[in-house]
């Protein structure tokens, strides 16, 4: 939901929040597979940090700045000496905070690669004319991650990121997606041309290793390094820019990041900036169009509804819904199952409404089902599955979740 009191930001209502949480839970499971550790970082940092990172010089117009309204008072001057605390910036990205985490303890080559993931909100001061629904907002979330690695690990780590993209996008059943290499901008970049050429060559090797075709966008890289952008086509044939993988030799130098190599020499790591979904809000919008609102079971905010054939069976419908949803059992796998016990419509109309609401499964209960402890179940498309026990139905739901169906 978009509201004039929050231009460029959105309210995520309950069903939308369910989908976002499913997407995050899915990524968290994949993080275990690919060796990421999730962290949480501050929303706001002092101007000094943004000067160190280069964002103040190269990205300030796209940031939200905050001036502290507080003044600090020296304990011995009885309030005569006031000093402003300074200017702060809302973070548009997580990389500076992750650099601080990396630098918080000494690192050895044996510790690398270090992969840090972060879902915390980001803010970018997008022009009002560029704002567009869920696809471009001022407050958003990324499945953001940064990989700190040696130069020798670059190609293998980027190849792993591309494999991650392939696995996730196949789960979404995108019919097609393309890789694009974005190279050094003509101006407003940091670092030497030689460093940029080295970084671009590493990305080219990783792209070649996929065996997939890729194209080049000259001058479209970020100010701190070249990147790989992933363009997806939804079921309607529309193209969308989503994932990004960026190689960065500059930020580790600006923050003075070091690790000790096998010869006990201090070396500077390389950072790979990586987002598989990109903006979660934008991916949400793409998936709405891609699925036409007919969410697969594992992503659906309305996985099942139980309908009583008459009012006397409303309590049983509610009981079944609670058993299927798993709300009564701590640690039990949970599903989004409702019971429609307030409708006064006839059963056929209730079923049509449930189909219109796009529940994946529609269960009907009456005297027969209450006596046998079962549910008469059908799919959203109208396929009749017949009577099933609660345990069998939960088993079916678990299988669909596990197989991302």
Q: What is the average per-residue pLDDT within 92-100? A: 94
> Rounded CA gap, 40 and 5, in Å?
28
Residues of the chain above pLDDT 70, percent: 92
Q: Which of 18, 141, 227, 394 is catalytic?
A: 227
pLDDT at 392: 95
Taking the alpha carbons of 253, 36, 202, 216 in that order, is the dihedral positive or negative?
negative
Catalytic residue among 98, 115, 146, 394: 146
Is pLDDT of 80 > 50? no
Is 263 a known active-site residue? no
Give the CATH number of domain 14-291: 3.30.930.10
Q: What is the pLDDT of residue 82?
A: 43
Q: Is 146 a catalytic residue?
A: yes
Contact between 229 and 217 (Cβ < 8 Å): yes
What is the average per-residue pLDDT within 356-376?
Answer: 96
- Give me the mean pLDDT over the 302-328 stretch: 93
Query: What is residue 83's predicted lDDT score, i.e. its pLDDT?
Result: 43
Query: At residue 4, does pLDDT exceed 70?
Result: no
pLDDT per position as a tens digit, 211-236:
888 999 999 888 778 899 998 877 77
Catalytic pick among 91, 124, 380, 394 = 124
> Catalytic pick from 118, 143, 144, 229?
144
Of the pLDDT bands very low, low, confident and very high (cuts 50, 70, 90), residue 79 is: very low
Assess whether pLDDT exceeds 60 at residue 71: no
Q: Kindly indicate the confidence band of residue 176, based on its pLDDT and cuts at 50, 70 and 90.
A: confident
pLDDT, position 174: 87
297-402: CATH topology: Rossmann fold (3.40.50)
Q: What is the pLDDT of residue 50?
A: 92
Q: What is the model's pLDDT at position 10?
A: 74
124 belongs to the catalytic site: yes
Instruction: Please tell me which residue, 122 or 176, carries the higher pLDDT value.
Output: 122
Q: How far apart are CA 238 and CA 286, in angstroms?
A: 9
Which of 134-138, 208-212, 259-263, 322-326 has the lowest average pLDDT? 134-138
pLDDT value, residue 318 = 96
**Looking at the predicted structure, is the pLDDT value of residue 3 above 80?**
no
* pLDDT number for residue 165: 92
Q: Which residues in the chain are classed under CATH 3.30.930.10? A: 14-291
Of 55, 91, 123, 142, the active-site residue reads 142
Check: CB of residue 130 under 8 Å from CB of residue 137: no
pLDDT of residue 328: 67
Question: What whole-number percentage of the chain has pLDDT above 90?
Answer: 62
175 pLDDT band, cuts 50/70/90, is confident
Q: Are strands 304-308 and 337-339 parallel, antiparallel or unpaired?
A: parallel
Query: Two tokens at 222?
Result: 């970020």
**pLDDT higher than threshold 70 for residue 85:** no
Q: Which of 128-137, 161-170, 305-314 has the lowest mean pLDDT?
A: 128-137
Confidence at residue 194, expressed as pLDDT on a 0 to 100 scale: 87
**99 vs 54 pLDDT, higher one:** 99
Cβ contacts of 194 within 8 Å, gap of 6 or more:
none
Please give the average per-residue pLDDT across 111-136, as a whole number: 85
Higher pLDDT, 11 or 95: 95
Is pLDDT of 81 > 70? Answer: no
Q: Are the C-beta atoms of residues 27 and 73 closer than 8 Å to each other? A: no
Average pLDDT, the chain: 89
Least-confidence region, from 36-50, 55-69, 76-90, 236-250: 76-90
Residue 309: what pLDDT?
A: 95
Taking alpha carbons only, the member of 222, 223, 240 closest to residue 284 is 240
Q: Between 338 and 79, name the one with better pLDDT.
A: 338
Burial 166-182 (b: 16+ CB within 10 A, else e): eebbebbebeebebbbb
Query: Across residues 362-369, what is the average pLDDT?
Result: 96
- Catalytic: which of 273, 274, 282, 394? 273
State how far the Cα of 226 lies from the Cα of 399, in Å rounded to an integer.
41
Known catalytic residue at 144: yes
95 noted as active-site residue: yes
The residues of the chain that CATH labels 3.40.50.800 are 297-402
User: Which is catalytic among the residues 91, 95, 229, 394?
Assistant: 95
Q: Write out pLDDT tens, residues 138-151.
A: 888 999 999 999 99
- Residue 7: pLDDT band with limits 50, 70, 90: low
């Amino acid at each position: 939901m978009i509201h004039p009191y929050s231009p460029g930001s959105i309210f995520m209502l309950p069903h939308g929040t369910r989908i976002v949480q499913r997407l995050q839970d899915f990524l968290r499971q994949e993080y275990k597979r690919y060796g990421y550790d999730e962290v949480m970082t501050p929303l706001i940092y002092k101007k000094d940090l943004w000067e160190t990172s280069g964002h103040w010089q190269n990205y300030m117009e796209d940031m939200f700045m905050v001036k502290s309204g507080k003044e600090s008072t020296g304990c011995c001057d009885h309030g005569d000496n006031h000093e402003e605390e300074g200017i702060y910036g809302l973070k548009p990205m997580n990389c500076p905070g992750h650099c601080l985490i990396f630098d918080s303890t000494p690192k050895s080559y044996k510790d690398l690669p270090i992969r840090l993931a972060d879902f915390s909100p980001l803010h970018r001061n997008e022009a009002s004319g560029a704002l567009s629904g869920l696809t471009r907002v001022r407050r958003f979330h990324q499945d953001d991650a940064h990989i700190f690695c040696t130069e020798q690990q670059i190609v293998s780590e980027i190849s792993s990121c591309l494999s991650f993209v392939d696995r996730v996008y196949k789960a979404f059943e995108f019919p097609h997606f393309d890789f694009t290499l974005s190279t050094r901008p003509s101006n407003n970049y940091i670092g030497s041309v030689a460093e940029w050429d080295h970084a671009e060559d590493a990305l080219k090797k990783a792209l070649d290793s996929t065996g997939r075709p890729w194209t080049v966008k000259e001058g479209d890289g970020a100010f701190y390094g070249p990147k790989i952008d992933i363009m997806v086509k939804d079921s309607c044939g529309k193209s969308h820019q989503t994932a990004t993988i960026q190689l960065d030799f500059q930020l580790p130098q600006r923050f003075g990041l070091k690790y000790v190599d096998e010869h006990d020499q201090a070396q500077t790591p390389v950072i790979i900036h990586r987002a598989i979904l990109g903006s979660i809000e934008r991916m949400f919008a793409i998936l709405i169009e891609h699925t036409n609102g007919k969410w697969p079971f594992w992503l659906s905010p309305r996985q099942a509804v139980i309908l009583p054939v008459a009012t006397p069976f409303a309590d049983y419908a509610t009981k079944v819904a609670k058993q299927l949803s798993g709300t009564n059992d701590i640690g039990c796998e949970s599903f989004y199952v409702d019971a429609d016990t307030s409708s006064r419509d006839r059963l056929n109309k209730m079923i049509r409404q449930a189909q219109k609401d796009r529940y994946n499964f529609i269960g009907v209960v009456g005297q027969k089902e209450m006596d046998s402890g079962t549910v008469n179940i059908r799919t959203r498309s109208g396929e009749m599955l017949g009577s099933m026990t609660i345990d069998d139905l939960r088993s079916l739901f678990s299988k669909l979740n596990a197989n991302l169906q």
